Structure 1
Amino acid sequence: MAHWRDTMRPMRFFGIDARASAPLLFFVMNIEVWTFILAVGTAILFTFLERKGLTVPAAIRAGRAWIAGEVRPAVPWWEKRRLVDYRK
C-alpha cells in the first residue's frame, strides 16, 4: 500500500504523465496510422516539456495564454460604450 505522501505525485503510465498519454486511448479506440503518430507525437512533446520543467497542466495553460495573446481587455468589444455626438 502506498504512503499518503504519494497521493500528490502525478500519475505515470510507463514513465509518461498519464494526462500526456490520453491520446493513446484515442489510438486504441481508432487504430490508424495517423492516430498512432498523433499519440506518439503528443507523448514525446509532453515528455520534452516535462524535461524542461513544464508539467502537462502548465504547458496547456501556457499554450492557451499564447493563443489568447498579450492584450486581454477587461470589457469585451461588444459591451464597450461608443462615443455619441449630441450636437448633430
Structure 2
Amino acid sequence: MTRLNQARIRSKEQCDGLINQVNIKSVEISDLNAHLQENVLEITDLKDELRKLKGKALVDNVVTKHTIDPDMFKNDEDPITPKM
C-alpha cells in the first residue's frame, strides 16, 4: 500500500469514528429532550394541582354575572313647576 492509500484509510476511519460520536450524542440529546418534556408536563400538572388546593381553580372557572338593578335608573325628583 502506498502512503496515500494508508492516509485515506486513516482519514476514513477517523471520519467514521467522528460520525459515530455525533450519532451517539444525537441520541443522548433526544433522550434528554424527551426527559425535559416529561418534566415540563409534570411541573404543569403540579401547578394546576397547587392552584386547586389554593382554591384558585374555582375562581378561574367561575363566571361572574353582574345584573343591573332597574330601580337604579328611577328618578325620585318632583316635577318642575313652570313659573309665570
- TM-score, length of structure 2 as denominator length: 0.29
- TM-score, length of structure 1 as denominator length: 0.28
Instruction: Return the structure number with greater relative CO, CA threshold 8 A, min gap 6.
Output: 1
Between structure 1 and structure 2, the one with the greater Rg is 2
**More helix per residue:** 2
